[in-house]
Structure 1
Amino acid sequence: MDCRMGCGACCIAPSISALMKPAGDRCQHLDDAMLCTIFNEPHRPSACAEFKAEMGVCGTSRTEALHLITELESLTCP
């Protein structure tokens, strides 16, 4: 599955410790078009670079992706 352009759910729903970003907060590198401004940069956190879009995480829409990733975050992080 390819990343859904303009989605940004993976930059909002999960916590990203390397960026000190809490779950549910928008990443500071997410622009107004919901695109990562450091996507191809070497300092992009490995957690972000290793994320792969897949149906079980991203669903069929941005709304579903936000729901699924939020649920996964609550199950895996205290």
Structure 2
Amino acid sequence: MECRESCGACCIAPSIKQAMPNMPSGKAADELCANLDPVSLQCRIWGQQDYPDFCRGFQPDVDFCGENRDQAMQILSLLEVQTRA
């Protein structure tokens, strides 16, 4: 599966506890990543050297991304709640 254009669900729904460019304390769940363009919903640093390992490890899959952006947000938000420590 290829990453869906204009989605950004993986850059919004999950919390990220590790430091990353422009977000030294990570990000909270449902917070837009500072590296996500809010208009195009595309990562501004994708593929660059400072692209976080956490993000590199997330691969698009129907189990996480569903059939559309709304499903992706629902699935990833539910996973966030289920894995909250």
Q: What TM-score does the superposition give when structure 2 sets the normalisation length?
A: 0.87
Output the CA distance in 2 between the equivalents of 1:52 and 1:40.
Answer: 13
Report what 2:35 is aligned to.
29
Residue aligning to 2:76: 69
The aligned residue for residue 8 of structure 2 is 8
Give the ranges of 4+ consecutive aligned residues of structure 1 lying more than 2 Å apart after TM superposition: none
Unaligned stretches of 5+ residues in structure 1: none
Identity of aligned residues (%): 38
Aligned length: 78
- Tell me the TM-score normalised to structure 1 length: 0.95
- Deviations, residues 21-70 of structure 1 (Å, cap 9, x unaligned): 00010000000200000101111111101100000100001000000000
Q: CA RMSD, aligned part only?
A: 0.8
Unpaired segments ≥5 residues, structure 2: 21-25
Task: State the alpha-carbon separation in 1 of the partners of residues 44 and 16 from structure 2.
Answer: 16
AA aligned opposite 2:10: C
The one-letter amino acid paired with 1:48 is C
Deviation at 1:17, TM superposition (A): 1.7
Would you tell me which structure has more helix in proportion to its own residues? 1
